[in-house]
A and B are shown apart, each in its own frame.
Chain A
Amino acid sequence: MRWVGRPPRWWRGLLIAHLTKTNFLYNLYVMELASNVARQGQLDAVFAALADPTRRAILSRLADGEASVAEIATPFSISQPAISRHLKVLENAGLIERDIDEQRRPARLTAETMASAVDWLAEFRAFWGARFDRLDDVLMELKKTESKE
């Protein structure tokens, strides 16, 4: 385990979601449709936040574990204030969270938001695919029925 600090308590849910994604992606989508009205527009912010390569690199860095601004800034050729601005965008989109009461204010990923954004996209891609899979089954059933008649 590379995780030393705070145990990532969202692992289990994320792992299950990942493993069974194709099965309940669509169900998830419909549930989200109804339950996420309060978060309208949040996905827009998520996708806008992810459109920037530096911010994606920051997320990759945070995938290795929480880090302070200084730690995040090290491999980049940009200033800490610039990193802070990127972190703000990521934080506003709900992709990361930061500790308030610590001096170094480490940032870490908020996997739920990431997962819901990825799922939304996967849903669009998987949606017709899942339908076509089901259509395949239905056609097989129809062929069986017809050959009996």
Chain B
Amino acid sequence: MSELPEYVLDRTFDASRDLVWRAWTDPDILHQWYGPGVETIIHQYDLKPGGAWLNEMKMRGMSDYSRMDFQEVAEAEKLVWHHASTDADWNVVANPMMPDWPRVLLTTVTFSDAGGKTDVRLSQVPIDASEKEIAVFAEMMSNMDGGWGKGYAIIDELLSQLQS
């Protein structure tokens, strides 16, 4: 597992662990923040191992569908799910923008106390991915702060030329 590329995001929230957990596991709250700037419809939210969260994000009449299949649910501690893009019938499909993007990402969210606040760690690693998919994901992860910064550097350069 350790060789697999991983996406990690850490954040401390100024709220109790119970409240943060509720924000993740109560669909009425979850839909308020899960799709920032778009309408999020949670078609199903069955919080138990083997249960699924079926999610639709709407934007100007178009929809982006994804399904999260829960693997592990440890109250106020940990959520584990398989995260995949789907068609409108909730069948897993390749990412329309990046055909070689891993179809399924093993997603782990952990919650821990931090002196009245709550540390949340989100991690995503490809699962059951082909070598090519793993390579694409790895390249993306490694390039985010390295080589791909070049993309930003070029755009920043263009912008500074415009402004000068």
* A complexed with B: yes
**Nearest-CB distance from A19 to chain B (Å)?**
9
Within 8 A of B (CB), among A62-76: 63-64
Which residues of chain A are near B161, meaning CB under 8 Å? 1-3, 63-64
| Closest residue of A by beta carbon distance from B144 | A125
Would you call B54 an interface residue if the criterion is a C-beta within 8 Å of the partner chain's C-beta atoms?
no
Q: Are B35 and A36 in contact (CB under 8 A)?
A: no
The range of chain A's interface size is 35 or more
The range of chain B's interface size is 35 or more
The CA of A29 and the CA of B11, in the complex, are separated in Å by 23
Would you call B1 an interface residue if the criterion is a C-beta within 8 Å of the partner chain's C-beta atoms?
no
Q: Are A131 and B150 in contact (CB under 8 A)?
A: no
The winner among B7, B29, B155 for most chain A CB atoms within 10 A is B155
Q: Are B151 and A138 in contact (CB under 8 A)?
A: no
Which residues of chain A are near B15, meaning CB under 8 Å? 139-140, 142-143
Contact of B140 among A121, A129, A139 (CB under 8 A): A121
**Nearest-CB distance from A30 to chain B (Å)?**
4
Which residues of chain B are near A15, meaning CB under 8 Å? 159, 162
| Closest residue of B by beta carbon distance from A122 | B152
Q: Are A111 and B158 in contact (CB under 8 A)?
A: yes
Nearest 9 CB-CB pairings of A with B: A34-B62, A134-B33, A118-B151, A30-B59, A139-B15, A135-B33, A134-B36, A130-B36, A138-B33
Show the binding face of B for A, using Cβ within 8 Å. 7, 9, 11, 13-15, 19-20, 22-23, 29, 32-38, 57, 59-60, 62, 64, 96-100, 120, 122, 136, 139-140, 143-144, 147-148, 150-155, 157-159, 161-162, 164
